[in-house]
Amino acid sequence: MSLASADAATLDDAAAVAAITAAADAGRFHEAVTALAASPTTLSLPQSAATALLNAAAVVLPSSAKAAEAAAATTGTPTAGPPQGTSSSTKAASVAAAGADDRASTAVSLPPGVPGASTAEVAAMSDSADVTLLYAELQKRGHLAAFGCAAEAGTRPLGPKVVDAADLEARAGLPISALAPKRSTGAWWQLAGIGVVVGVNALASAAGVQGLAQPALAVLFLGWVADQRLARGAVFETLYRAVKPEYAEKVLKHEAGHFLLAYLTGAPVRGYVLSAADAWKAGIPGQAGTVFTDARLEAELRRGKLSGSALERFSIVLMGGIAAEAIAYGQAEGGQSDEAVLVGILSGISPPWPPAAVVNQARWAALEAILLLRQHAAAYDALVDAMRAKRPLGECVAVIERHVVVPPKVEAPPTAAAAAAAAAPRPSTSEEFARKEEAFAAKERELAARLASIDSKLNGQ
């Protein structure tokens, strides 16, 4: 059934679910989400329908390589420049910085070095509001209990905002050097290709067959250039993965860290890519990444201000890849661009943050990310398995939901005044009614006396 000719609010449950699911499966995402929002909250939405809706929301579907719209926030390897061990980071539309202090809001002037960070790109995103609405509707209907469960400061394990090196090492159980991604010696992806050409040429020269090897070398060199220009290095990266399979596993665990922390902090995830080849096929800039959006961040960016809460959430997600690698391998290899984006944004805030505050923010976010990943280790491991199998977005979200244990909300204890008021004896309903009736009668008598006094004065005149 098409929702174009039917109001979802007037359909019975089975018909409404069928229509919404059909619209989602057919790629009519806006129509499906609008119909879901118009449906009564009592609508019984099965898990299969929720999964279909999330799959329709995905910018990146590993199974179908859906082309990406410009403008979701992406943590991944930038198109320009080499892969940094695992994934680095480009930030598209939803870009924010994480605040080390408690300023209510911060004026933002995003640095020119951050790709895709303009508010024009934020405004250009056509379906961000629909994605945000979908996550909200699914959560309201009981499908996304874990989504945003670590969005606010009181729901996360780390309390203090000031974290020195000793604090970080003590709480994380890791040396601070483990969270410093290895520095690149240059564009090693490009250098690897050049090295192959030079090496083959040297061997051919030593063997006395340089004349025969030159045409092959020319083809190899042209192939390398074409790969860099047209396929963003996908061919050479694929060959490297075949030679060094542990590289692919590090990329996977890095991106799973971004994915899980984005979900837990309330940023709707829209997909992921784990290789340059997948990114190229899907139309995603970069070589690996996790795509998410955050309508609240986008709205704040349009206003030119970022709240402290938004800054905190974003910084935790940004450091999630480094934290995941450090936990798994004892040393983060990728994430240099993640760090660079965080430093660049904080330095571009008006007024810019001093270096000490930037360093503290990076430490705080990294430690918060480590503690959250350890707290939800079962969900992280299950997500890694799902992403390794290239499961679509809806199934990855379902995996997280099955493994995250959401702590119960603890109500704040009442104040002494509130407790005293609650403990005081209350009059019965009849007593309270009699008291109010007597007060009303007294007001009437007072008003009548005043009117009589006014009449007397007027008659006396």
Give the confidence band of 414 by pLDDT, cuts at 50, 70, 90: low
Reference 201, options 184, 179, 216, 189; nearest CA is 216
CA–CA separation, 107 and 380 (whole Å): 35
Which ranges in 118-244 belong to alpha helices (H)? 119-124, 128-140, 165-172, 188-206, 210-230, 234-243
Q: In what order do the strands lie in the sheet containing 73-76? A: 73-76, 289-292, 269-273
Write out pLDDT tens, residues 71-91: 334 455 433 232 333 333 333
CA–CA separation, 220 and 245 (whole Å): 23
Q: Residue 50, CB half-sphere, CA atoms under 13 Å: how many?
A: 22
The pLDDT of residue 291: 87
Give the confidence band of 416 by pLDDT, cuts at 50, 70, 90: low
Cα dihedral sign, 418-423-429-430: negative
CA–CA separation, 377 and 404 (whole Å): 9
B/e letters for 45-60, b = 16+ CB within 10 Å, e = fewer, are beeebbbbbbbbbbbb
Percent with pLDDT over 90 in the chain: 27
Neighbours of 2 (CB within 10 A): 11
Phi-psi region for residue 271, left (φ > 0), alpha (ψ -120 to 50) or beta? left
Which secondary-structure segment (H or E) carries 151? Answer: none
CA–CA separation, 316 and 321 (whole Å): 10
- Is pTM beyond 0.85? Reply is no
Check whether 93 has a pLDDT greater than 50. no
Give residues with Cβ within 8 angstroms of 406, minimum separation 6. 145, 146, 149
Between 27 and 256, residue with greater pLDDT: 256
Which string of DSSP letters, residue by residue, matches 291-327? EE--HHHHHHHHHTEEEHHHHHHHHHHHTHHHHHHHH
The pLDDT of residue 107: 40
- Copy the structure tokens of residue 360: 């503290």
Check whether 188 has a pLDDT greater than 90. no
Check whether 440 has a pLDDT greater than 50. yes
Check whether 234 has a pLDDT greater than 60. no
Domains in the chain: boundaries: 65-183+244-403, 416-460
Write out pLDDT tens, residues 253-262: 999 999 999 9
Give the confidence band of 398 by pLDDT, cuts at 50, 70, 90: very high
Write out pLDDT tens, residues 355-377: 899 999 999 999 999 999 999 99
The pLDDT of residue 294: 76
